[in-house]
Amino acid sequence: MENLVNHKYNSLSGLNVLVTGGTGVIGCWLIKKLVELQLNTTILLWGDNQNPELERTNLLEHTTNIQGSLTDMRLLQSIIQQNQINLVFHLGAQAIVETALVDPFTTFESNIRGTYNLLEACRTNSQNIKGIIVASSDKAYGTHENLPYTENASLNGIYPYEVSKSCTDLLSRSYGLTYSLPVSIARCGNVYGGGDLNWNRIIPGTILELFNERNPLLRSDGTHIRDYIYVKDIVAGYLTLASATISGIEHGQAFNFGNNNPVSVINLVTTIARYMDKEHLQPEITNTAHGEIHSQYLDSSKANHMLQWEPEYSLENGLIQTIEWYTDFLSRSDDESKNN
């Protein structure tokens, strides 16, 4: 079969790839790209989590799929050995801030123990490992007065989800520098795009409410500032970082990936309403959110300078594509429910 790996990703050609967290919003679009690039991809799937984009495109028919948990060290070692894994994208995590507040133990088990299990499995089977990309978050920085965050900012996580991401970063850096594992860390802003059915998140939740002619709900007071980045830009960032890691950049480095265009939550919601022609539906502010940082956004200069990466999608273009995806998905779901 002809190798279709983009020239930007030539160093990935012929590699065996492992993706954890493949059913998440980033994971499904990353897998879509890996399949498109004809890379031999293995996915660690946990529980019965499904993703409508993976189902719609039948992508899992083109990958090796293994059910299991990041807390199962023997399984991770077996996957890496038997599939001769060269490149790992570690996306698997409990990713909901509110869930972490209610159930910190499960969050720490998944995000912290899951990370050191995977890194240790890679360390003890490192003969074939060429690159490990660890998905982190702007939440790893915690709260800082000076914005935007640069990679030199300290990791000041306080609340459970923040701490889990801070620990993920520190563990990854430790394994990279101590054991010369080719680890790189991707700290992303708030990622959005089709395939995310966690309706508690602001973008899919707002689209759902507006689609159903209901006023969107804001759990905060609407003034929180965030950096929202379209999922295809993050996938490009991950692949670019993987290529640079394999090519020999310093181990244990972190890179910020953001849209460099922070907006308030209330402005984001009103923008979505405008693009959906639903401006008659006004946001309802509940102000019930707890354990969330008020303002955070990233400086992506390092990724731009060292990786030649920059976002291709403006907030407007990304939201339009996202709205189209959800409108199609929700319309088909309505049709199916009417026919049943």
pLDDT tens for the 340 residues of the chain, in order:
233 345 678 899 999 999 999 999 999 999 999 999 999 999 999 876 678 998 888 899 999 999 999 999 999 999 999 999 999 999 999 988 889 999 999 999 999 999 999 999 999 999 999 999 999 999 999 989 899 999 999 999 999 999 999 999 999 999 999 999 999 999 999 999 999 999 989 999 999 999 999 999 998 889 999 999 999 999 999 999 999 999 999 999 999 999 989 999 999 999 999 999 999 999 999 888 776 778 899 999 999 999 999 999 999 999 999 999 999 999 987 666 555 5
- 248 Ramachandran zone, left/alpha/beta (phi>0; psi -120 to 50): left
**Extents of the domains making up the chain:** 7-192+230-257, 202-225+260-296+313-333
Give the global pTM: 0.93
Q: Among candidates 193, 200, 211, which has minimal Cα distance to 273?
A: 211
Using an 8 Å Cβ cutoff, are 156 and 141 in contact? Answer: yes
Q: Among candidates 68, 159, 48, 157, which has minimal Cα distance to 110?
A: 68
Q: In CATH, what number does 202-225+260-296+313-333 get?
A: 3.90.25.10
CATH architecture of 7-192+230-257: 3-Layer(aba) Sandwich (3.40)
- Which tokens go with 249? 């950049």
* Residues involved in catalysis: 161
